[in-house]
Amino acid sequence: MPIDPSSSSASLASESPAARQALSVLEILPRLEVGGTARSAIDLSMALVRAGGRALIVSEGGRLLPEVLRGGITHETLRVDSESPWLMLKLAWHLSRLAGRDGIDIFHARSAPAAWATVKAQRFAKLPVIVTLHDCDMPTRRIHHWYADALRHADHVIAVSDFVAAEARNVLGIANDRLTVIPHGINLARFNPGAINADRLIKHAQKLLLPDGVPLIIMPASLLPEKGHALLIEALALLGARPFYCLMLGDDSQNDTYRQEIEELIVAKNLEGKVRFGGFCDDMPALYMLADLVVIPSLEPEAFALAAAEAQAMGRPVVAADHGSAPEIVRAPEAGWLFKPRDAAALSTAIAEGLSLGPAKRERIALAARAHIERHFTLEAMCRRTFEVYARVLAAGQAETRRSA
């Protein structure tokens, strides 16, 4: 299903100073896969196109590429995610070439290698560079050095959460006047409980063979150890005879060894028939509506817990590990629970409380969760504030040009 920004986001985008100038923006990111990095890049680019501007994305492609092309966004397939200096210099050359060919006004990089290559391209293209920090996890010492160097030369840095902004200041040395926090925005037209009809829910329930009358827990996450699948299974085993059914959703085709480990743990904990993998789903709003509880048991701090924000937009109670961005996103205790990270007993207690909610309390949580996202994490706000950063950077560059003339 295509995920387009709502018409209201396009309206807000067109009101921003940057959008009124009909900008051309080139975004650079590793892959177009499900997750916050690609989602925000696509949503922002679509808003720019709808406001009369032009958007170009450079990436290695991925599952979301058809959506990009349907949205009127130009795409160039290039190697972006590499630690090779030669490949990144080659990327920089391509970026400077594309900037001249397409009349680009701004570079917007969304990963460490992309930021480094874009700053190198800036030397030739003479264009402002914006870097969005989607995490502060530097895989190697060399990449950390590259990223820090690139960020020092970027015109402005956007952090997707207060947690990431603190890391940017303390670890990467980014000054406050060059740093803006702009969280990912949720498309409330798509993540809208009122837009989900009964037939859509029945279709997914039948496809997933969900049992009737049993509370459903979902864990939406990539199949990676740091996401906490094993911790969730340990916690569920502590629930004893309490009825529940748990689906672990996400692309599970790329890590067979880890999947086998989790399936063996499910058997060891006597949870066969109660916990299983559900695979990738392209209709997460419907899956959230089917859920009684959404669990985010990440072992490591997340830069932006996107699934927690999406679930709350659908009015669903969320249980999340109390670190990283989760305390900013999960409105606890009004709309969810935060538990001590890596603590199976604490997670189990939170899940038990979530499964024990009565109808009145569940309705209050649904209203509070949705209102929290509407106030703080909308797609419209993300687009507007990003375009405001574009406008400030362009204005600063024009002022510098006048002073140098």
Residue 104 scores a pLDDT above 60: yes
Question: Domains in the chain and their CATH numbers?
Answer: 7-185+378-404 (3.40.50.2000), 193-376 (3.40.50.2000)
Q: How much is the average pLDDT of 320-336?
A: 96
Give the model's pLDDT for residue 136: 67
Residue 2 scores a pLDDT above 70: no
Neighbour-count burial of 354, counting CB atoms closer than 10 A to its CB (0-12 exposed, 13-18 middle, 19+ buried)? buried
- What's the order of all strands across the beta sheet hosting 156-159? 74-77, 54-59, 24-28, 106-109, 129-133, 156-159, 179-181
For 72, left (φ over 0), alpha (ψ -120 to 50), or beta? left
Residue 12 scores a pLDDT above 70: no
Q: How much is the average pLDDT of 317-335?
A: 96
Give the model's pLDDT for residue 10: 43
Which residue is it, tokens 């809208």?
192
The string of pLDDT tens digits covering residues 55-72 is 999 999 999 999 999 999
Give the model's pLDDT for residue 147: 72
Give the model's pLDDT for residue 6: 42
The string of pLDDT tens digits covering residues 349-359 is 999 999 999 99
Give the model's pLDDT for residue 252: 73
Give the model's pLDDT for residue 71: 94
Give the model's pLDDT for residue 151: 86
Give the model's pLDDT for residue 355: 97
Residue 219 is encoded by which pair of tokens? Answer: 């864990």
**What is the separation, in whole angstroms, between the first and last Cα of the chain?**
51
More confident site: 124 or 274: 274
The string of pLDDT tens digits covering residues 173-183 is 899 999 999 99
Average pLDDT of the residues of the chain: 91
Least trusted range by pLDDT, from 83-87, 143-147, 239-243, 391-395: 143-147
Instruction: Please report, rounded to a whole number, the percentage of residues in the chain having pLDDT higher than 90.
Output: 80
| pTM of the shown model | 0.90
The string of pLDDT tens digits covering residues 69-90 is 999 999 999 999 887 889 989 9
Give the model's pLDDT for residue 144: 65
Q: How much is the average pLDDT of 327-337?
A: 95
Residue 139 scores a pLDDT above 80: no
Give the model's pLDDT for residue 72: 94
Residue 13 scores a pLDDT above 60: no
More confident site: 317 or 86: 317
Give the model's pLDDT for residue 138: 56
